[in-house]
Chains A and B, each alone.
Chain A
Amino acid sequence: MYRISLYLSSIDLIKDLASFEAAGIEIVPILSPREYSRQGNSSIKDVGQYLNFKGKKVIELDGLYTEDELHEICHWVKMVSHQDRIHFRVKDLGLLYFILKETNAYAEFLGETYNNSFAISTIAKFGERRITLIGLSNEYSYEMIEKVTSRVDKDIEYMGFGPNLIFYSPRKLLSPLGKVDNFSDDSTKTIDKGINLMGKSEESPHKGFMLHEGSLGTLMYHPKYLNNLNEIFQLIKFGIHSFKVDLRMIRAIDTLPLLENILKFFKKNQNETLENYPHFNGYLRKNKSNKIFHKLKNRVFEDFDLAGNKFIGKCIDVHNQKYILIESFNKDPICSLDIAQFLNPNGKVIKASLEVQECIHQSFDKDIYRIRFIKGVTPMSRVYFENLG
C-alpha cells in the first residue's frame, strides 16, 4: 500500500476523487488554508466541508511563524485538533512542538531543509508515535534516501510530481511592483487569489522561475515541474511509500485529466508521457554532496600547517627587488641564516636562507623584519620555518 499526498488547486475538486480510487493506493487530499499556509488551496472556513470527505484528514500549515503569528495559529490548531485523528502537516519546529505537547493530534513533518539522516531520525525520535510521516527534501539522492529509510521507522515521503520550491521569502515582493488600482492596494484580493508570474534574470544562466505570492510571502519555483514518476517503483524499493503530488498550480479544468495520467505511473509501472507539462527529472541519481562550491583559497595553507611547518608570518612588502618586509607573529626572533619557506598566494613555494637587515618594529603581538630581497617571493606570501622533525 502506498500513499499519494495530493495537493489540488481547490477544495471543490476533492469530491471528484472518488472515481480515482484504486487498490493499493491511498489518495490523501491535503488542505492548505491560505491564511496559514505558504500556498493555499482553501480557507480555514473550508475545514468543516473538508472534514466531511471520507478518508484521512491532513491540514497543511507549512509556514515559518514569528511569535505573534504562532500564537494565532496555535489557537486555531487547538480548536480544530479535537477532530478525530486529524493530522497537521508542518514545517515550523515551534508549531510541531506545540502540536505534540498541547494537543492529541498527529503530525506530519516537512523536513525539506534537513539534509541528513541524523536530523530526520532525531525528529522521528522526538515525536515518537505522534509523528506519522516525514517529508524529505527534493534534493535527496537514492543513496541519501536509503540512509534515512534504514535509520528511521516512519512513513517517509518524497516528491512524485510537482513544482520544486527554491526560495521562500517572508516578505511580499511582488505586490509593490503592481499598479495601485489593480492588485497591490487590494490585500484581500492578493490573499484570495495570490499572484502568479514568471521571473527571469539576464545575469545568471537560469531560464526563469515561477513566482507565487500569497498571504505568507513570496515563493519561487523551478520553471519546470519536478517529475519522479518514472522512479516510483525504484523509490518503493528504497523504502519510500508516500509520494507528494502537487497540482496546485494546474488549472482546475486540467487537473483531473493530469491526475489520471499520473496515476497510471502508480498502477502500471510503465512509462507515460506528460508532454504538456515541462518537467525535469530530479536528483535521485546524482549525489549533490560532492558538488559543494569550494574556493580553495586557504586549503593549501591548511595542508602546510598540517605538515607541521611552523607559521612565522606574512610578507607585507616586496620592494623593487631591494628588500622584503616580514610581519612576524613568532615569539622567537628571526635571524640571518634561518631557512624559511615562502608560500606564495598562488601556491608556489620558495625556500631560502634569510639575511636580516633590521628589525624595524617590535610590539607585543608582532615584529616587522626587513630582509634582503629573495627572487620569486611575492607580497602576501606566508612564511614558515620548515618542519625538520
Chain B
Amino acid sequence: MELLIPAGNMNKLKSAVQYGANAVYLSGQNFGLREASDNFSLEQLREAVEYCHAHQVKSYITLNGFLHDEDILHVKDYVNFLNQIKADALIISDLGLISFISEFNLIPIHLSTQASCLNSSAGQFWKKHGVKRLILGRETSLAEASEIKRDTGLEVELFIHGSMCMSYSGNCTISNFTQGRDSNRGGCAQSCRFEYSFKEVNEKNNEDKFSLEKSKSYFMSSKDLNGIDLIPEYYNYKIDSVKVEGRMKSEFYAGLTAKAYREAIDLVGAGKTMEFNQRLPILNNYLNKYSHRSYTHASLLEKAQVDSIYDERESEVEGQHNYVGKSLGLYKDNYLMMSVKKKFTIGCLLEFHLFSGENVTTKVGEILDLDLERIEKPKPSSVVLIPLNDKIPNDVLISLVHGG
C-alpha cells in the first residue's frame, strides 16, 4: 500500500520523502488547485522529480483545476515538459484536458478527487477515457472503494488524513461569487470556515418554521480526517494508495504525518497487528503535535454525520508543539547547526523528530551564532548552533514543546 504525502514546495517534499512517503504530489505554477501555495517552477519540478527518483519515491504532478479553453491550449508544452522529466503520473480532474492530451501524453493519468468519482459506473466511464487510477471522492466509504476497485480493475486511492471539503469536491464556487477567486482553479478562499448567521425565509405559518437553537454557526466547516486507526481496514479492502491532504501545510505536517503513517502501514503490512494497536496512541500523538481541527473518520465507515461538523472558530485550533526549525548537521563536532523557522528561547524544551524510532528531547542551555557568540532569541530565517550530545541527522524537524 502506497503512502502518498503532499509536497507544497521543495522543503516539504524532502521532509515527506525522508520521513517515509512512497509517493508525493506536487504542482507547477499553473493548472493546479493551490495557487497560494509556493508550488514549483519548471526547474524545481525537474529537481523534485530527480530527487524523488533517487530515493525510489514516485512523483505525481497535479493539473487538477477545472480549465477553460484558453488554459487547455497552453497546457501542451507543460505536459511535454512533464513527459521529458519523467513524472510518474498526472493528477487531472478535467475531462476536456484528459481528452486533449490523450494524443501526446505518455504519463499515466490519475483522476483527481475534484472529479467526484463516487461509484464504479463512473469509474468505468473514466477508464474508457484512459484513466489508470481513481482518486475517489471523500464521500466514498472503504467498502465502496473496494467495490469500485473490483468492478473497474483500476487502482484506487483514498484519502486518509487532512482537511475536508464540506462540499463535493469541485462543486463549490462560493469563492467565485464572494471574492472573485475561482475555487476550482486555485483560488479557494475557504469560505466554508467562516461564521454564518441565519434567518427564516419560510414564514408562511408557524408549522413550517425552522427554529434555530443558534443564530450563528460555523455550519459548513468540517472536522479533519484521521484514519490512522483504520489502516488495517485499508489493507483488508486492498486500497492501493492512502493519501494525505495538505500541500498548503508546513513541512512539519508533511514530515510528522509521513512518519506516523509509515510506521502504521509497515506494522500492519508485516502482520504485526498487536504491535500496531499498542503503538496507535503514540502514532496518534504524532498527529496531535501540529495544529489541526478535531479529527473524524468522515465517511470512511459510514456516511459523515452531524458529529463531523467542526462548529468552531479556526483560530482556536492549536497543536501541542510549534515547529521551530530543522537540523543542518554537526558544526565543529560539538554543536548542532539548526535552521530557525520560528523563535524559541534558552530554557525551552525542543523535540527532535527522528526519521524513524523514538524522538529526542533536550532543554536548550545555550544558543550561539557561527562565531560562537551567544544569542538570546534567534530570528526566523537564520542559522544557530546548539550544544548537543545526541547525534541528530541532517534535515530532522525540530519542534518546541508547549509547556516544556
Contacts and interface: CB of A to CB of B under 8 A. Distances in A.
B185 A292 contact: yes
B41 A116 contact: no
Given A67-B119, A70-B119, A116-B72, A203 B181 contact: no
A196 B139 contact: no
Nearest to A173: B219
Interface string B330-373: 01000001010000000000000000000000000000011100
B66 interface: yes
B171 A97 contact: no
B250 interface: no
B198 A166 contact: no
A209 to B, nearest CB: 8
Contact of A94 (B121, B194, B210, B306): B121
Interface in A66-120: 66-70, 74, 92-98, 113-120
Contacts of A169: 166-168, 220
Contacts of B211: 178-179, 182-183
B210 A66 contact: no
Interface stretch (B199-207, B235-243, B262-270, B276-284): B199-207
A129 interface: no
A268 interface: no
Contacts of B100: 118
Interface in A182-209: 182-183, 193, 195-206
A370 B328 CA distance: 13
Interface centre among A67, A96, A316, A365 (most CB of B within 10 A): A67
Interface string B157-179: 00000000011101111101111
B172 A197 contact: no
Given A95-B121, A288-B176, A295 B36 contact: yes
A197 B217 CA distance: 13
A206 B214 CA distance: 21
Interface residues on B, range: 35 or more
Contacts of A202: 195, 197
A373 interface: no
Nearest to A311: B43
A203 B68 CA distance: 30
Contact of B119 (A66, A211, A293, A325): A66
Contact of A170 (B40, B168, B329): B168
Contacts of A114: 66, 94-96
A315 B211 CA distance: 59
Mostly helix, strand, loop or mixed at chain A's interface?
mixed
A94 B120 contact: yes
B219 A301 contact: no
Nearest to A67: B144
Nearest to A143: B69
A306 interface: yes
Interface in A119-135: 119-123, 126
Contacts of B304: 170-171
Interface in A253-286: none
Contacts of B180: 291, 293
B91 to A, nearest CB: 17
B118 A94 contact: yes
B144 A198 contact: no
A201 B195 contact: yes
A7 interface: no
Query: Interface residue tally of chain A, by bracket?
Result: 35 or more
A65 interface: yes
Task: Please indicate which of the listed interface residues B201, B305, B369 has the most CB atoms of chain A within 10 Å of its own CB.
Answer: B201
Contact of B167 (A167, A175, A380): A167
Given A166-B172, A299-B29, A305-B42, A294 B35 contact: yes
A175 B129 CA distance: 39
B9 to A, nearest CB: 9
A2 interface: no
A161 to B, nearest CB: 18
Which of A206, A291, A293 has most chain B Cβ within 10 Å?
A: A293
A98 B184 CA distance: 27
Contacts of B47: 311, 329
Contacts of A117: 69, 96
A387 to B, nearest CB: 12
B274 interface: no
A317 B371 CA distance: 13
B121 A360 contact: no
B213 interface: yes
B381 A98 contact: no
Nearest to B43: A305
A122 B96 contact: yes
A379 B381 contact: yes
Contacts of A126: 125, 128
Contacts of A120: 96
B1 interface: no
B41 A199 contact: no
B137 interface: yes
A354 interface: no
Contacts of B119: 65-67, 69-70, 92, 94
Interface in B42-90: 42-44, 47, 51, 66-72
B272 interface: no
A64 interface: yes
A322 interface: yes
A159 to B, nearest CB: 14
What 3 A-B pairs come out closest when comparing CB atoms?
A118-B96, A293-B187, A94-B122
12 contacts: A66-B118, A68-B144, A97-B121, A116-B67, A118-B69, A170-B303, A171-B166, A197-B200, A198-B199, A204-B194, A298-B41, A305-B43
Given A66-B141, A291-B182, 20 more contacts: A67-B118, A68-B144, A92-B122, A93-B125, A93-B126, A114-B96, A116-B72, A122-B129, A168-B167, A172-B306, A173-B220, A220-B174, A295-B36, A297-B38, A298-B38, A306-B42, A316-B328, A361-B328, A361-B394, A370-B370
